[in-house]
């Protein structure tokens, strides 16, 4: 004990003690409050080391003060401040299931108003462990068990500690990047940054990002918006008179097919259709299906797709708009537009993953979503979840309890996740009558298995829509968000598609970026397979026009797919593009007919150069609009700017039920229309986790 006391009475000894104790408190928070998930030994190692580097760096600042009267106050202050930061995040996480950003901290008084009652109400008995060490430390100094070490340390000590800390942080970064590539460039979930790099690192990174964004936005002026509005107004395509209002007043049900590509439609494997139900919808006379529809996502992947489909702007050149800018971004998105329409749509999202993924819990209020039913609303016990959240059949089934209480008409979106890389599915969920491919690539083989499962899931949802009476009152939109099979695996897919892997080129990669887009309007009878070229950026104006809402006054970079003036130049995030005639990849123009580099005439070169210039300009203007938050300067006539503080997602069901009670006989929810009785029994699924017969 005396040896320990002697070591702790040195500055180095006390320093290492505080590093260790703070590490222990962080591990406590990770395990009990933040619920950091660990799936393998590498992740366990990363989680265990990530608080150490930043603790060494911060606490090590005290070594630059050679005198004891400065060293101890600096060390104590940095330790206390770090503890305060940790504990504030603990309290915040308990209410919002998210970590505090720098902008949140600077406005904590506003955050505290949003907490349930007060921060005090969120405290728990074990919280004493976050502060007990400070009490013990004070007592040890008070009773002189610990004393100030007045012996001055060499000048190089501070530099040595800082150097070691930076080396440790670099090592942490390297290991994290090995396990989770593009962690810092994509930043799709704050939980991942904390999990891999620690809370201090996340706070510093967020602070730097906040400063960069704030500086850019502070310097922005209203005049910069003119270039954007000039482009979008000139680019606007007037609606097709026949299609305008074709679905006016209907419910809108959007089904997001995760990682689903167009080649799966009508594809057969071992004599069996991969997606028999989706094929039937694709060829239905009530469906407008597009066979030259491309995803246009960047690093933001699914979040980029959501942004394009609902906000009408492109994702960022690097990272995710949702994650990097979405918390404070001004949107004039479809959910808000529909809520403010004469029909006064109710808007909601159903998603079986954590609400923080892609920062959705902060972005959806800015989009104007009234409800967000995410992981806390669903039962995830046992094997009900895989990979990125609740299995698709269970998501559709379990969402009925919430859907039935929403006022009609509604605009709802289902975000499926089971068909996500690496496309794993338990045996009990697989169709024993479907045998997949037998390539050397497990991702390709598994892809068709999860495709088939997703197809069955959507069929079950359609059956419910019909039995509940929703089907004939709705427009059902089905889309694939981005590729599932990456370019590096496409050669392994080639033989399945009837192509020679040795002849596979970048042109073939580009053509595989097609994803399904179907607009199913029951009773329409005029549906067909449309061949015009388009992409995700074109969805918002298309849907608004189908609902009888003209998109002209809104800033949108896409054009109505049904319009005679629709722009068929499809821009990709990397500035490549595709048209009905040519495909441009890294400056090389390919002929769509031959798949080979095109031998262009002078006139054709001039034309494709003009198209390239337009694509570059369009992406640049979208980036300027988003990065500088220029929509805050734009007020379309009749549109009220979204007030995100109106939308809280913690008590969605109670909110919907209260509206039913308030409206009484005027309530238009399915529950009210069914005599205030649940319709959950109308949903039937063969998911092994559900006792369907016991309903």
Kind and range of the H or E element at 44? helix 41-59
Residues 165-189, mean pLDDT to the nearest whole number:
84
420 marked as part of a ligand binding site = yes
DSSP letter string, 436-492: ----S-HHHHHHHHHHHHHHHHHHHHHHHHHHHT-GGGEEEEEEE-S-SS-GGGHHH
- Judged by average pLDDT, the poorest of 127-141, 230-244, 520-534 is 127-141
CA 345/CA 543 separation, integer angstroms: 14
By CB neighbour count within 10 A (0-12 exposed, 13-18 middle, 19+ buried), where does 109 fall? exposed
Q: What is the pLDDT of residues 630-673, one digit of tens each?
A: 999 999 999 999 999 999 999 999 999 999 999 999 999 999 99
Q: Does residue 195 or residue 113 have the better pLDDT?
A: 195
| pLDDT(468) > 80 | yes
Q: What is the pLDDT of residues 2-18, one digit of tens each?
A: 777 766 678 888 899 99
CA 516/CA 294 separation, integer angstroms: 8
CA 76/CA 65 separation, integer angstroms: 13
CA 31/CA 36 separation, integer angstroms: 6
DSSP state of 190: H
| pLDDT(362) > 60 | yes
Alpha-helical (H) ranges within 290-369 are 301-311, 321-324, 334-339, 360-367
For residue 261, the model assigns a pLDDT of 98
For residue 148, the model assigns a pLDDT of 77
Q: Measuring CA to CA, how many Å separate 609 from each of 119, 535, 579, 628?
A: 59, 21, 13, 28
CB 400 within 8 A of CB 463: no
Q: Measuring CA to CA, how many Å separate 176 from each of 56, 311, 631?
A: 19, 33, 36
Q: Predicted confidence band at 111 (pLDDT cuts at 50, 70, 90)?
A: very low
For residue 114, the model assigns a pLDDT of 43
Alpha-helical (H) ranges within 187-256 are 190-197, 199-219, 225-235
Q: Predicted confidence band at 106 (pLDDT cuts at 50, 70, 90)?
A: low
| Nearest residue to 518 via CA among 235, 245, 260, 242 | 260
Q: Does residue 191 or residue 675 have the better pLDDT?
A: 675
Q: Which domains does the chain have, with CATH numbers?
A: 2-218 (no CATH), 243-562+631-646 (3.40.720.10)
Q: Predicted confidence band at 92 (pLDDT cuts at 50, 70, 90)?
A: confident
For residue 124, the model assigns a pLDDT of 87
Residues 530-551, mean pLDDT to the nearest whole number:
99
258 marked as part of a ligand binding site = yes
Q: Which residues contact 427 (CB under 8 A, 6 or more apart)?
A: none
DSSP state of 691: -
| pLDDT(113) > 90 | no
Q: Predicted confidence band at 416 (pLDDT cuts at 50, 70, 90)?
A: very high
CB 252 within 8 A of CB 543: yes
For residue 121, the model assigns a pLDDT of 61
| Nearest residue to 635 via CA among 48, 338, 180, 229 | 229
Please give the distance of CA 177 from its chain centroid, rounded to a whole number: 20
Two tokens at 405? 């209480």
| pLDDT(482) > 90 | yes
Q: Name the percent of the chain in helix, strand, coil, to the closest 5.
A: 55, 10, 40
Q: Does residue 192 or residue 505 have the better pLDDT?
A: 505
Q: In this structure, what are the phi and psi dihedrals at residue 174, rounded to the nearest 5 degrees?
A: -65, -45
Q: What is the pLDDT of residues 187-216, one digit of tens each?
A: 656 788 899 999 999 999 888 877 887 788
Residues 412-438, mean pLDDT to the nearest whole number:
95
Q: Does residue 97 or residue 179 have the better pLDDT?
A: 179
User: CA triplet 306, 309, 314: central angle to 5 degrees?
Assistant: 80
pTM over 0.85: no
| pLDDT(219) > 70 | yes
- Quote the percentage of the chain above a pLDDT of 90: 78
Q: Predicted confidence band at 117 (pLDDT cuts at 50, 70, 90)?
A: very low
Q: Predicted confidence band at 109 (pLDDT cuts at 50, 70, 90)?
A: very low
Q: Predicted confidence band at 112 (pLDDT cuts at 50, 70, 90)?
A: very low
For residue 143, the model assigns a pLDDT of 79
Residues 542-567, mean pLDDT to the nearest whole number:
98
The label of the residue with tokens 């388009």 reads: 534
| pLDDT(118) > 70 | no
CA 306/CA 302 separation, integer angstroms: 6
583 marked as part of a ligand binding site = no
Q: What is the pLDDT of residues 45-91, one digit of tens each?
A: 999 999 999 999 999 999 998 788 888 899 999 999 999 999 999 98
| pLDDT(323) > 50 | yes
482 marked as part of a ligand binding site = yes
Tell me the catalytic residues. Answer: 302
Return mean pLDDT, the chain: 92
| pLDDT(568) > 70 | yes
- Judged by average pLDDT, the poorest of 10-14, 62-66, 145-149, 339-343 is 145-149
């Amino acid at each position: 004990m005396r040896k320990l006391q002697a070591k702790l009475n040195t500055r180095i000894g006390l320093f290492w003690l505080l590093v260790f104790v703070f590490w222990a408190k962080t591990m406590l928070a990770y395990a009990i409050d933040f619920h950091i998930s660990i799936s393998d030994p590498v992740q366990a190692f990363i989680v265990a080391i990530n608080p150490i580097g930043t603790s060494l760096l911060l606490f090590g600042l005290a070594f630059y003060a050679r005198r004891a009267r400065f060293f101890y106050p600096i060390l104590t202050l940095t330790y206390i401040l770090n503890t305060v930061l940790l504990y504030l995040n603990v309290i915040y996480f308990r209410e919002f299931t998210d970590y505090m950003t720098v902008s949140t901290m600077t406005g904590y008084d506003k955050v505290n108003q949003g907490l349930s009652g007060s921060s005090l109400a969120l405290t728990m008995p074990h919280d004493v462990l976050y502060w007990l060490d400070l009490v013990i430390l004070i007592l040890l100094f008070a009773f002189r068990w610990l004393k100030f070490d007045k012996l001055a340390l060499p000048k190089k000590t501070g530099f040595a500690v800082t150097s070691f800390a930076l080396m440790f942080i670099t090592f942490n970064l390297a290991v994290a990047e090995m396990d989770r590539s593009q962690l810092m460039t994509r930043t799709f979930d704050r939980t991942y940054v904390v999990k891999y790099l620690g809370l201090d690192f996340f706070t510093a990174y967020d602070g730097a990002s906040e400063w960069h964004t704030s500086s850019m936005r502070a310097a922005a002026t209203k005049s910069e918006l003119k270039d954007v509005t000039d482009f979008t107004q000139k680019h606007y395509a007037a609606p097709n008179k026949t299609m305008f209002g074709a679905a006016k007043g209907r419910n809108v049900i959007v089904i997001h097919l995760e990682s689903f590509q167009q080649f799966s439609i009508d594809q057969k494997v071992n004599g069996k259709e991969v997606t028999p139900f989706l094929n039937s919808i694709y060829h239905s006379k009530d469906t407008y299906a597009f066979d030259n529809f491309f995803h246009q996502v960047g690093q933001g992947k699914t979040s980029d797709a959501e942004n394009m489909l609902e906000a009408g702007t492109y994702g960022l050149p690097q990272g995710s708009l949702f994650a990097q800018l979405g918390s404070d971004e001004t949107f004039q998105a479809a959910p808000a537009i529909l809520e403010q329409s004469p029909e006064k749509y109710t808007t909601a999202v159903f998603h079986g993953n954590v609400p923080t993924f892609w920062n959705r819990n902060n972005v959806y209020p800015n989009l104007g979503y009234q409800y967000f039913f995410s992981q806390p609303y669903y039962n995830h016990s046992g094997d009900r979840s895989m990979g990125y959240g609740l299995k698709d059949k269970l998501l559709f089934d379990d969402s009925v309890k919430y859907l039935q209480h929403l006022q009609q008409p509604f605009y709802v979106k289902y975000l499926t996740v089971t068909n996500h890389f690496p496309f794993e599915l338990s045996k009990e969920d697989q169709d024993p009558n479907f045998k997949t491919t037998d390539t050397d690539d497990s991702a390709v083989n598994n892809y068709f298995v999860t495709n088939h499962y997703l197809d069955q899931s959507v069929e079950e949802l359609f059956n419910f829509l019909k039995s509940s009476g929703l089907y004939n009152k709705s427009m059902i939109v089905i889309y694939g968000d981005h590729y599932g099979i990456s370019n590096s695996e496409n050669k392994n897919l080639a033989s399945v598609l009837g192509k020679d892997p040795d002849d596979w080129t970048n042109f073939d990669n580009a053509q595989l970026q097609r994803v399904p887009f179907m607009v199913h309007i029951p009773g329409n009878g005029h549906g067909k397979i449309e061949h015009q070229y388009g992409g995700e950026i074109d969805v918002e104006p298309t849907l608004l026009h189908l609902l009888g809402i003209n998109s002209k006054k809104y800033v949108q970079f896409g054009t109505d797919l049904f319009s005679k003036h629709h722009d068929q130049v499809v821009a990709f995030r990397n500035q490549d593009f595709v048209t009905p005639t040519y495909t441009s990849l890294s400056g090389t123009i390919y002929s769509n007919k031959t798949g080979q580099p095109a031998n262009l005439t002078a006139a054709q070169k001039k034309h494709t150069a003009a198209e390239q210039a337009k694509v570059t300009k369009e992406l640049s203007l979208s980036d300027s609009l988003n990065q500088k938050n220029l929509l805050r300067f734009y007020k379309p006539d009749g549109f009220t700017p979204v007030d995100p503080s109106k939308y809280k997602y913690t008590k969605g069901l109670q909110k919907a039920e209260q509206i039913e009670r308030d409206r009484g006989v005027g309530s238009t929810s399915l529950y009210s229309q069914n005599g205030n009785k649940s319709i959950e029994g109308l949903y039937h699924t063969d998911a092994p986790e559900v006792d369907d017969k016991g309903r």
